[in-house]
Structure 1
Amino acid sequence: MAKITYIEHNGTKHDVEVRNGLTVMEGARDNNIPGIEADCGGACACSTCHVYVDPAWVEKLPAKDDMEEDMLDFAYQPDPARSRLTCQLKVSDAIDGLVVHMPEKQI
């Protein structure tokens, strides 16, 4: 289990425990966290699970693959350094304490 902190655009914070092996998107979905829509169900075929990773975590996460980079082009106000798709972030002990910030909206 890893503790993930999801922060809505309005500042509302949600601290949840997410089981290892799930994705950060599935953790949000399973805990009814608003702001992550995940329209494609985690297939990396949309950008509706877009978040901004807290700066302290950017270098600690695995690099984006080409497919994630391509999908982020469709996200709302992507940040080249901090934007990630939560469907592509696998939960493990290595990301215990991860903090992600939701954008104003998903498109």
Structure 2
Amino acid sequence: MPNVIFMDSDGTSTSVDCSVGTSLMKSAQLRGIGGIYGDCGGEQMCATCHVYVDEAFLHTLPEISDDEDEMLDATAADRMFNSRLSCAIIIKPEHENMIVHLPKFQR
């Protein structure tokens, strides 16, 4: 189980073990990480699971799909070069110690 480090907007970090094959969104929700709502249930239709992935791990992520790209343009917090929907990230072994920054707000 890769360990993922979630950093909230005030700088507090929380490390969680995430099951390989599970979405980052679902892993965060199952472990009580606040600020990742996933109102659409992980279907890339709402942008309430928006996160900023540490630049060092961007190469481990799949390319942004057209649906994800469209939703990232509609996020409540600013879209940045490292913005992703956490529902679109499936945990892999190479995500060990991945740092994920949570935006200040999702809605």
Band the TM-score falls in, shorter-chain normalisation: over 0.9
Please list the CA deviations of residues 72-105 of structure 1 after superposition, one character each: whole Å capped at 9, or x if unmatched: 01112111x2000000000111222211101110
| Equivalent residue number for residue 65 of structure 2 | 65
| Alpha-carbon distance between aligned partners in 2 of 1:41 and 1:90, rounded to the nearest angstrom | 15
SS in 2 for 1:26: helix
| Alpha-carbon distance between aligned partners in 1 of 2:85 and 2:73, rounded to the nearest angstrom | 11
| Alpha-carbon distance between aligned partners in 1 of 2:66 and 2:96, rounded to the nearest angstrom | 25
| Alpha-carbon distance between aligned partners in 2 of 1:85 and 1:98, rounded to the nearest angstrom | 15
Structure 2 segments unaligned to the other structure (5+ residues):
none
What is the root-mean-square deviation in Å for CA atoms of aligned residues? 0.9
**Which TM-score applies when normalising by structure 1?**
0.94
**Which TM-score applies when normalising by structure 2?**
0.94
- Give matches, 1:1-107, under 5 Å: 1-75=1-75, 76-79=77-80, 81-107=81-107
| Alpha-carbon distance between aligned partners in 1 of 2:40 and 2:24, rounded to the nearest angstrom | 14
- Percent of aligned positions that are identical: 36
